[in-house]
A and B are shown apart, each in its own frame.
Chain A
Amino acid sequence: MKNVMSNKFVIALYTLPALLLILLLIYVPITLSGYYGLMDWDGIGEMKFIGLENYVTLIQDKMFWTSTWHSFLLAIFSTASLLLYLAISLVLASKIKGSDLLRKIYLIPMLLSSVAIAQLWMKIFDPTNGMANKLLEMFGVENTPIWLADPAIALYAIFIPVIWQYAGFYILIYYAALKNVPDEVIEAAKIDGASPLQIAFKIKLPLISGVFKVTIMLAVVGSLKYFDLIYVMTGGGPNGASEVMASYMYKEAFKLNNFGYGSAIGFGLLVICLVMTWITSKLTKSKDDVQY
């Protein structure tokens, strides 16, 4: 049996096309980008080799560490939100009435492009006409917040749409995973007299733990390199209050003519992602993955 499943030719045939694609289109460019990180280059004129100077600057750059901290916070909130999405998926997958329709509705925002989501939330957060403050006023709040304009809360305000945006994504994955749990297993548990909660915690959750771990990884890495809505909605402002790593990198490379330095930030982002992924995988490691 080992022989068929360790056929070198088949392995190469199955993995090489994809591997070549990512090596060529992701690894080669990022290596080049790391090389630009060694340059003093505005992205327009001549490059000048300056060794590790950009990276030294990076380590001492307060703004970089502030934006890293912001990205890190986003990663924590995103990961925490997974529990909510998991709970929703458990309910949806439990065959309650209307779950089919609800599931479809829940996933709809996921279809919207960032352009639309940004517009929607900018209108919700509008300090005078926006829905958020209109609601607060209804409850008698007088000094309504100015949301994206307040450096103290802009970051947290913008986390709301960012995290909400991915609700559909995770619910979809969890739902598919839960639907994958064979009915026989659940039936058997019911015959043994397990309650729905017991079934959820003792059977379903352990069975999808592999998928859950993957989503934690996706949430952590996805948050650390997150860019879209923050760039459109606050541009990292006011005055850097909502800057995250990717928006900082974009700003330096594409707006401020520091392409070399921007590349170095991109490389720093990658290293931080690697470290965080390693920590996450240590934290979520269990001896063996459960199979059906």
Chain B
Amino acid sequence: MSDQTATKPALDFTPPRSGLAALQLRDAWHLLPWGIAIAFYFYADGFHSFGTNVLIMVLFTLSLDLALGYAGIITLGHAAFFGIGAYTAGVVAVHMTTDPIAGLILATILAGILGVLTGMLILHTQGVAMFMLTLAIASMFYEVANQWRSVTGGDDGLTVPRSAPLLAYFGFAGFRFDFRGMTGYLYTLSVVFVWFVIAWRIVKSPFGRSLDGIRQNPRRMRAIGTPVWWRLVAMYGISAAMAGTAGGLQAQATRLVGLTSLELQLSGIVAVMLVLGGERRLYGAFLGAVFFMAVQDWAAAVNPVYWMFVIGGLLMAVVLFLEGGLMGLLDKIFGMFAGKRVENAQPSSNEVKAGEVKTGDAK
């Protein structure tokens, strides 16, 4: 419509490529976390179950990063979807099939559907109201699991049979889940990787950017025609589905689903992991979950009574002194090495800086 602007060819600007085509040598650091995860498989004998649990919490934290970090949905009830996934995978294994992938897909889908439905309820609200509603919904899920003993086993929990061999399709014998949990570790790592790639694509997508925009300024997004509520519901559903996968993985790995998977404490812990690692960073979920679980393991061994005190102190230190969590700390460390080069980005002195001018005396 604006003829003199829209038809002029943009000769002086080439938009950056995205996806695999955009990868450069300096992106090689992405190999580091995944390389460590694979090396763990080969060298961490006897720790595979612990590693699997860490990966599950990484995935759960990643799901919260999509909802809380990127979309700004204030939720303290995310364990609801983790628990739904865990119980679904457990019930599927008990009553239908022990094929791990089938159980995981059903756990993901059901958690996603419940995420969309509850999201439609709560995402009209904002701030404290939204926060209360997420708590309320999580409590309701908990009570359903507690009372519906015939399916969930109530407070006794649900014992899950060992999964059938992985990928045992079309006559292929598949990979058996061994007692040391090595197959389980690789299986979990693969699932986490798939979800990570999806999350990576989502946060860079127009969809993800619009949600980042909604977090920063819903009014602006409405003014450009964004259906804010639907967008939030969709992201909440994706996040819930991812949390459901994490729950399903836990049911298959620990072979026991209990009410702890629906507890508010779990919602709190995953939020702590996210803040520790750093919001809106994707890898923050890795750092936060790994660090939290390592410290928890260590602190519980040193003093089984007061370990939460250590965690609480750590969290306070991060929130007070480390903006952006552990990822923020990494930024600062690398920034010190590369610091000299960044300083040329000074604005010229005659420009009026934003914020120095009051936005009018009007109205």
Q: A and B, one complex?
A: no
Residues of B whose CB lies within 8 Å of any CB of A are none
Residues of A whose CB lies within 8 Å of any CB of B are none
